[in-house]
């Protein structure tokens, strides 16, 4: 059993719990219990007991425990833990499990008279609010874990999945033969998310491939020029028929005497030497135009 000095890192609550367990396990008598208690006191704790009243020194082991508890036990008023509760944060190198234990112990010391389910709910909320990774905390809150331990298990699961996104949840994440429904929901959500990402990536690649194929077809395919112009029964082309894309004269209609028209298509926009219907034979791409 550890020694209690009153100023060391060992708190009175830890020392008393350890002492009571050994006392109950060994079935000690009152005299043996008091002798063992005094044997493990030192420093300020021993000097404090020495200054106690004579009736306490002559009393039972429980009298000595009550006297020391009243002096060294931290008060049950939550205001004494307000600064510690406000400054509580997960350290950089602290694991989720170690942070869970620290939060649970602090809530137990600050609210010893509160029912256990209320303390667990308060510890769960404090645990998620003071995590370093805010993204994981928000994801875990969506699944509404029912206890502090369930919240810590889900936090560890998300952290392990971030480190190994393509693998199944490792056993260290708290997975058991019968995982809780919240853990199954997290695994199903991440699996669906990866499937959606893969499907969107395949659709994007297919869309880009279709665009490239259409571009190649338009690049190596000759555009359709349309059917050749038809002539009427008398063999003359229709009046005022717009010519296809071809050479046009720069001369203005006003420069033609007497509103001159082309003798071939009757157009006033060009002379007959520049009429696109002068040679009705189709011109195939690559062969060049026929000389006028």
Summarised one tens digit per residue, pLDDT across range 144-192 is 888 999 999 988 888 888 776 655 544 444 444 455 565 666 777 777 7
- Residue range(s) defining the domain that contains residue 45: 12-72
Q: Of the ranges 45-54, 100-109, 271-280, which one carries the lowest mean pLDDT score? A: 271-280
16 with 37: CB under 8 angstroms? no
Q: Domain boundary at 72, 89, 105, which?
A: 72
Q: Domain boundary at 175, 205, 226, which?
A: 175
Residues 52 and 83 in one domain: no
243 with 267: CB under 8 angstroms? yes
For range 2-24, the mean pLDDT: 83
The segment with the largest mean pLDDT, out of 69-78, 81-90, 238-247, is: 81-90
Q: What is the pLDDT of residue 71?
A: 84
Q: What is the pLDDT of residue 234?
A: 55
Interatomic CA distance for residues 237 and 206, integer angstroms: 49
Q: What is the pLDDT of residue 282?
A: 58
237 with 249: CB under 8 angstroms? no
Classify residue 47: in a domain, yes or no.
Answer: yes
Helices (H), the chain: 12-26, 30-39, 44-50, 54-57, 61-72, 82-87, 96-110, 116-129, 134-142, 148-163, 181-220
Query: 248 versus 118: which is more confidently predicted?
Result: 118
For range 61-82, the mean pLDDT: 80
Residues 111 and 142 in one domain: yes
Q: Which two tokens stand for residue 99?
A: 């942070």
Tokens 């020495």 sit at which residue? 50
pLDDT higher than 70, residue 286: no
For range 50-63, the mean pLDDT: 88
Q: Domain boundary at 175, 193, 224, which?
A: 175
DSSP string, 173-241: GT--SS--HHHHHHHHHHHHHHHHHHHHHHHHHHHHHHHHHHHHHHHHSPPP--PPPP--TTSPPPTTP
Residues 95 and 43 in one domain: no
187 with 169: CB under 8 angstroms? yes
Interatomic CA distance for residues 268 and 112, integer angstroms: 106
DSSP-derived 3-state class of residue 7: coil
Task: Quickly state the pLDDT bin for 124 (edges 50, 70, 90).
Answer: very high
Q: What is the pLDDT of residue 178?
A: 58
Q: What is the pLDDT of residue 174?
A: 45
* Mean pLDDT score of the chain: 76
Classify residue 203: in a domain, yes or no.
Answer: no
Tokens 């038809």 sit at which residue? 230
For range 105-133, the mean pLDDT: 88
Total structural domains within the chain: 2
Task: Quickly state the pLDDT bin for 125 (edges 50, 70, 90).
Answer: very high
């Amino acid at each position: 059993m550890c020694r209690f000095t009153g100023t060391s890192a060992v708190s009175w609550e830890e020392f008393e719990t350890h002492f009571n367990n050994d006392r109950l396990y060994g079935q000690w008598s009152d005299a043996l219990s008091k002798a063992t208690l005094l044997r493990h006191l030192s420093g300020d704790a021993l000097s404090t007991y020495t200054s106690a009243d004579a009736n306490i020194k002559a009393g039972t082991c429980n009298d000595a425990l009550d006297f020391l508890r009243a002096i060294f036990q931290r008060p049950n008023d939550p205001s004494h833990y307000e600064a510690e509760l406000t400054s509580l944060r997960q350290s950089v190198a602290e694991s989720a499990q170690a942070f869970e234990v620290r939060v649970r112990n602090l809530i137990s010391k600050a609210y010893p008279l509160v029912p256990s389910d209320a303390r667990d709910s308060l510890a769960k909320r404090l645990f998620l609010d003071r995590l370093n990774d805010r993204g994981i905390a928000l994801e875990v809150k969506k699944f509404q874990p029912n206890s502090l331990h369930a919240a810590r298990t889900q936090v560890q699961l998300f952290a392990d999945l971030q480190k190994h996104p393509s693998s199944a949840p490792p056993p260290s994440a708290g997975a058991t033969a019968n995982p809780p429904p919240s853990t199954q929901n997290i695994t199903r959500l991440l699996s669906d998310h990866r499937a959606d990402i893969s499907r969107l990536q395949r659709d994007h690649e297919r869309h880009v491939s279709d665009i490239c194929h259409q571009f190649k077809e338009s690049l190596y395919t000759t555009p359709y020029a349309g059917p050749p112009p038809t002539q009427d029964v008398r063999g003359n082309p229709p009046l005022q028929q717009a010519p296809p894309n071809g050479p046009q004269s720069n001369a203005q209609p006003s420069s033609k005497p007497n509103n001159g028209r082309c003798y071939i298509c009757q157009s006033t926009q060009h002379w007959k030497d520049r009429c696109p219907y002068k040679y009705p034979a189709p011109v195939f791409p690559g062969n060049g135009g026929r000389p006028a």
